[in-house]
């Protein structure tokens, strides 16, 4: 709706991860560098962690866009609470292999046969596991066992594990000692700082041919950062609503007052108001202080909801791609 009013070529703040909008903050660039470094090694595990909405999936999508030009077969697995054998079946499904009703031994044979066939073709196989914090320890062990497949001293599978902050604690349990020994590199993705938040917003607007309408005051950028805490998905959610508000009100400028008005609207509409506007009400004439140091029950529920929404978005995207493939085949 607001795209036409502001003469934009696309929606700049969509929630679905889109590699076209990848913004290379210092943290995101470093995470991407670790992923690329992992690719040069061709074995083991690369671990990327970060909070809900930090941009882990977007990094993977951007990497996949690069891989389309290389000799790599890559698949992405978005996990829920999967037991060990179900995890193996989901890995097989990610690579398009038969798995339904198959025994564990049959699934492993199918995977090994697939890995060997790709190696004979001179191709490498990459598995990206998103939401890895949801996997039980035994399931992670099964992924570690897959890394044992090799031919001629060369690993047949390499895995990237992406997870939320709690995944770092999971990796420390004694049962995962062998997996830890195979970690080539790991990186924790922090939220954007205030300058990066501003640059992130401008980057996404410029990607859709923004012509400085609407423009943003310095105070607007500062308040958006305070509200979203520099988390990319929160920035997208808030700025999407702000742009809609601007189109409805026919605004050509966003200042502190307009940002606060949208924040107040969201606080009235959403049961997770603390996740957007903090615990304190705005003070007329200036920014408000907000304690975001602790994980309150409301914030925990909100983060859990954001995680589930992310998983559902990924599943919908996978289903859409599968449907398009079937239509093309027909």
DSSP labels, 248-297: HTT-SEE-HHHHHHHHHHHHHH-TTTHHHH-SSPPBTTB------SS--H
Q: What is the pLDDT of residues 31-76, one digit of tens each?
A: 888 888 888 888 899 999 999 888 888 888 888 787 766 788 988 8
Which residues touch 29 (CB under 8 Å, ≥6 apart)?
none
Enumerate the β-bridge partners of residue 215.
253
Same domain, 39 and 13: no
Same domain, 52 and 157: yes
Q: Is 286 in contact with 222 (CB distance < 8 Å)? A: no
Q: What is the pLDDT of residue 269?
A: 76
What does the alpha-carbon distance between residue 272 and residue 7 come to, in Å, rounded to a whole number? 32
Q: What is the pLDDT of residue 282?
A: 40
What does the alpha-carbon distance between residue 96 and residue 105 come to, in Å, rounded to a whole number? 17
Same domain, 223 and 322: yes
Q: What is the pLDDT of residue 125?
A: 92
Same domain, 32 and 139: yes
Q: Is 95 in contact with 75 (CB distance < 8 Å)? A: yes
Which CATH number covers residue 160?
A: 3.40.50.300
- pLDDT surpasses 70 at 193: yes
How much of the chain exceeds pLDDT 90, in percent? 52
* Boundaries of domain holding 64: 26-189
* H or E element, residue 148: none
- pLDDT surpasses 50 at 288: no
Of residues 66, 58, 237, 188, the one with CA closest to residue 130: 58
pLDDT bucket at 106, cuts 50 / 70 / 90: very high
Same domain, 198 and 150: no
Q: What is the pLDDT of residues 110-153, one digit of tens each?
A: 999 999 999 999 898 999 998 999 999 999 999 999 999 999 88
Domain end (from 159, 189, 219): 189
Q: How far is CA 251 from the centre of its chain?
A: 32
What's the whole-number mean pLDDT along residues 190-201?
A: 95
- pLDDT surpasses 60 at 217: yes
Domain count for the chain: 2
What's the whole-number mean pLDDT along residues 19-42?
A: 87
How much of the chain exceeds pLDDT 70, in percent? 80
First-to-last alpha carbon distance for the chain, in angstroms, is 34
Same domain, 64 and 11: no
Q: What is the pLDDT of residue 255?
A: 96
Same domain, 232 and 176: no
Sign of the dihedral through C-alpha 27, 29, 32, 38: negative
- pLDDT surpasses 70 at 235: yes
Same domain, 41 and 156: yes
Same domain, 175 and 207: no
Enumerate the β-bridge partners of residue 75.
127
What does the alpha-carbon distance between residue 289 and residue 277 come to, in Å, rounded to a whole number? 10
Domain end (from 189, 215, 241): 189
Same domain, 40 and 130: yes
Q: What is the pLDDT of residue 233?
A: 92
Same domain, 35 and 139: yes
Same domain, 65 and 164: yes
Which residues touch 73 (CB under 8 Å, ≥6 apart)?
95, 118, 123, 124, 125, 126
Q: What is the pLDDT of residue 69?
A: 65
Q: What is the pLDDT of residue 129?
A: 92
Q: Is 228 in contact with 42 (CB distance < 8 Å)? A: no
Q: What is the pLDDT of residues 144-175, one digit of tens each?
A: 999 999 998 889 999 999 999 999 999 999 99
Average pLDDT value over all residues in the chain: 82
Domain end (from 189, 215, 247): 189
* H or E element, residue 196: helix 194-206
* H or E element, residue 84: helix 84-94
What's the whole-number mean pLDDT along residues 224-253?
A: 94
């Amino acid at each position: 709706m607001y795209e036409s009013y502001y003469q934009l070529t696309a929606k700049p703040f969509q929630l679905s991860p889109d590699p076209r909008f990848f913004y290379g903050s210092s943290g995101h660039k470093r995470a991407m560098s670790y992923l690329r470094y992992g690719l040069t090694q061709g074995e083991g595990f690369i671990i990327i962690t970060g909070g809900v909405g930090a941009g882990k999936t977007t990094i993977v999508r951007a990497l996949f866009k690069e891989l389309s030009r290389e000799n790599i077969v890559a698949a992405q697995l978005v996990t829920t609470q999967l037991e060990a054998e179900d995890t193996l079946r989901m890995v097989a499904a990610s690579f398009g292999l038969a798995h339904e009703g198959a025994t564990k031994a049959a699934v492993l044979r199918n995977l090994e046969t697939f890995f060997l066939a790709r190696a004979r073709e001179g191709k490498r196989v990459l598995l990206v596991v998103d939401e890895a914090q949801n996997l039980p320890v035994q399931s992670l062990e099964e992924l570690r066992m897959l890394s044992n497949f090799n031919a001629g001293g060369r690993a047949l599978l390499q895995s990237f594990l992406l997870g939320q902050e709690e995944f770092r604690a999971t990796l420390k349990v004694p049962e995962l000692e062998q997996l830890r020994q195979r970690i080539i590199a790991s990186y924790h993705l922090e939220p954007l700082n205030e300058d990066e938040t501003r640059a992130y917003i401008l980057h996404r607007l410029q990607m859709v041919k923004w012509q400085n309408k609407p423009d943003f005051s310095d105070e607007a950028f500062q308040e958006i950062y305070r509200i979203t805490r520099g988390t990319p998905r929160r920035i997208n959610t808030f700025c999407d609503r702000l742009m809609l508000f601007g189109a409805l009100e026919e605004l050509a400028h966003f200042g502190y007052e307009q940002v606060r008005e949208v924040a107040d609207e969201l606080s009235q509409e959403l049961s997770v108001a603390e996740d957007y506007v903090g615990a304190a009400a705005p003070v007329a004439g200036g920014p408000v202080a907000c304690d975001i140091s602790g994980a309150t029950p409301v914030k925990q529920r909100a983060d859990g909801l954001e995680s589930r929404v992310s998983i559902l978005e990924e599943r919908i995207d996978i289903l859409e791609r599968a449907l398009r493939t079937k239509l093309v085949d027909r």
